[in-house]
Structures are given as structure tokens and as C-alpha cells.
Amino acid sequence: MSDFEPKLILKGVFNHLRRDGFNLGMGEYMAAVEAVEGGWGSNKNELLDALCLLWCNSLAEQSRLRILWDTVIASSKQKNREEQPEEIKTSPPTKSDYSEKSPTREEVKTQPVSTAKTTQEIAAQPVKPPFIPADIEEDREFENYWLLSRRQMVYAWRYLRRLVADGQQDVLDVNQTVEKAAKQGFFLQPVYRRREKNHAHLLLLIDQEGSMTPFHRFTRDLVDTVKYESDIERVDVAYFHNTPAESVYKDSHLTTPIALNEILARCDRDSKVLVISDAGAARGYRRMGRVRAITEVLFDIKEYTNLIAWLNPMPKERWDSSSAQIISHLVPMFPMNKEGLAQAISVVQG
């Protein structure tokens, strides 16, 4: 086992920072665990950069974390060592030990046979002590925190619709029934109208891997809820890495490419498009090449529909000095929380 184990020290660092005043919840902790499992944090400096990215909301917090880092990681390592029981190493007996203790055949013959029962002295054998787990201090400030809960997603999707009265004619129209009876002077039969159906079409373009790795659980929930827990008639999902190019992907593992034009050809003027990406805000990058590429894709989308919005999983204050700040002037961009999703749906609803 290497000297640096990011998962072992992550909880200690997390608790220390909370006691020091950092506004952290269970969502940030789980995001850091998933980032480590995704390959981040292979050494001390890389883990520090990842935690600055995930747990700090300002440059001041990043500076505080870097100042506290060596002390925090040292205390976390010491605590983990104390929690691990020491193993007592035992060496197997050698051949010479057996030869010294075992009597020869002649000695066995000369010894008198005694009818009394002899007690065998059993040498003390080295025994591994039982593992007693160390008491874990409960942090009652832990709470379930998510950018968006599944329940909030399901509720928000109810407002994304395009209702057309083309269903079965089995809905009682009370107003028309009363009006008809008043004109005739008597009630003959009720008036029915057609049932409304939601013919909305939604296209999700989701940034995958890289800086979006900590947010995979939220994007998975978005896809699952809109596909299986909403009444939206048509849902198309495409994935990309950093920037939607000429080709996007059908699957979240980015293994099955499909032309972007083929996806857009399914859209019409009533189609609604949601883009989910940090747009460089996670790492604070401002790259004009990325901005130009995204601008071209946005123009391509607007040839089919103007109902487009952007969900950014990073908080709004992290957009400054990054590509996200520029892109937010090209397309309505909202943080990926309860209010942000509601505003994005309001925009694409038209």
C-alpha cells in the first residue's frame, strides 16, 4: 500500500474544514469521493487541487485551504494510523526447532511407561488480537445535500409541455354542457372534448467526463427522471466532452458517435434544448477556442429552434473569468439547482 491514500484521509480533511468554517455538506463529500474514484487525487498536490475545485467557492477559501493543507493532511494520516490495528508477525518454526525438541527412537524405548496421565505443557502461541474498530465521532452536521433531488427534477419536468387536444374525446366540458342546455331549454346530453396530450420534444446535450465527473450522478438523474418519470412525449439525449463538435455520442461512455446534424434534424421550432456543462467554470479556464466552437454549435441549434437554455453545475460566482462568463451572454445560463432548473424550463417553454 502506498503512503498516500486519498480515500483514507478525505473524511478527516472534510471534518477539519467544516470545523474551520467551510460551508460543506454531504453532497460535496460524495462528489470528492467520486472524483477520487474517477482518477483525481493520485498525489497530495493533485488532491489539493481537486478539493479546491470542489469545496471552495472563492479565492479566499482556496487560500485558506492551501494554508491549512499540510496540517490537515498530517493529522488525518495520524488518526488513520491509530485506527488501524497492528499485526503481530509470527515466524513459522524451523526444522532445527523440531529436531531439538523431538526425542530419538532409543530415548523413547528407555523411558518407562507410566500409567498416570501426563499433562502436556502447551507453549504460548502468538495470537493475532481481535480487531476492535475505533469509535467514530458522529458528525451530526452531516446532511443529505444535492444540487437537485430526483423529486425536484420530477416536479420541474411537469412544467415542460406542449399540450395538443388530440386524445380521446372523453373529457366532460362543463361550460359547453351548461351553455348548450341553456340554449335548448332542457338538458339532452353532456358535451365532451378531446383529452390533451403533451407533445413536447426535449433535447439534452450533456457534457461528460473531465471536470464534469463529480456531477455524473446528477446528470444521470436528469436523464432518468425526464425519460421515465415525466409525460414528455419525445426525449433525445446526446453526450459530448467539453465542446459539442460535428459528432456527439449516444451513450454516456462516449463510445457510440452520431452526427450532431442528425440529432438536430429531429428538432423543429417547438423543440426545447437544454445544455448541461460547466463551460470551463470548474477549473476557471477561459479559452477562446472553446467559446468559438460552442458559438458555432449554438448558431446551428438556433437554425432549428430558439428554445434553448444552459444549466451549469458550478455556482454563479465561479463563472467569472472563465469561458462560462462569455457563453452566458450568448445563451440563457442558469446554475443547476432547484431555482435554476425552473428558470431554464421557463425559458425553453417559450
DSSP string over 36-56: HHTT--SSHHHHHHHHHHHH-
| pLDDT of res. 142 | 37
Strand 247-249 relative to strand 163-165: parallel, antiparallel, unpaired? unpaired
Q: With b meaning 16 or more CB within 10 Å and e meaning fewer, what string describes 240-272?
A: bebbbeeebbeeeeeeeeeebeebbeebeeebb
Q: What pLDDT, on a 0 to 100 scale, did the predictor assign at position 324?
A: 94
The pLDDT of residue 304 is 95
Please classify residue 152 by burial: count the beta carbons closer than 10 Å to its beta carbon, then call 0-12 exposed, 13-18 middle and 19+ buried: middle
Give the pLDDT score at 82.
Answer: 56
Write out the three cell numbers for 200.
413536447
Instruction: Of 326, 329, 325, 331, give the one whose Cα is nearest residue 347.
Output: 331
Query: Mean per-residue pLDDT for 142-167?
Result: 80
Mean pLDDT of 77-85: 57
pTM of the model: 0.57
Least trusted range by pLDDT, from 5-14, 77-86, 89-98:
89-98
Is 140 or 226 the better-scoring residue by pLDDT?
A: 226
**Amino acid residing at 238:** A
Q: Which of 29-38, 97-106, 325-334 has the lowest mean pLDDT?
A: 97-106
Tell me: the pLDDT tens digits for 180-190?
889 888 888 89
Residue 116: pLDDT above 50?
no
At 216-262, the pLDDT tens digits run: 999 999 999 999 999 999 999 999 999 988 899 999 999 999 999 99
Interval 203-214 mean pLDDT: 94
User: pLDDT tens for residues 166-182?
Assistant: 878 888 889 988 998 89
Across the range 5-21, mean pLDDT stands at 77
What pLDDT sits at residue 40? Answer: 72
| Averaged pLDDT of the chain | 80
Highest mean pLDDT among 58-62, 147-151, 255-259: 255-259
Query: Which percentage of the chain shows pLDDT scores above 70?
Result: 77
Higher pLDDT, 316 or 3: 316
Model confidence at 92: pLDDT above 70: no
Give the sign of the dihedral formed by CA 153, CA 154, CA 159, CA 161: positive
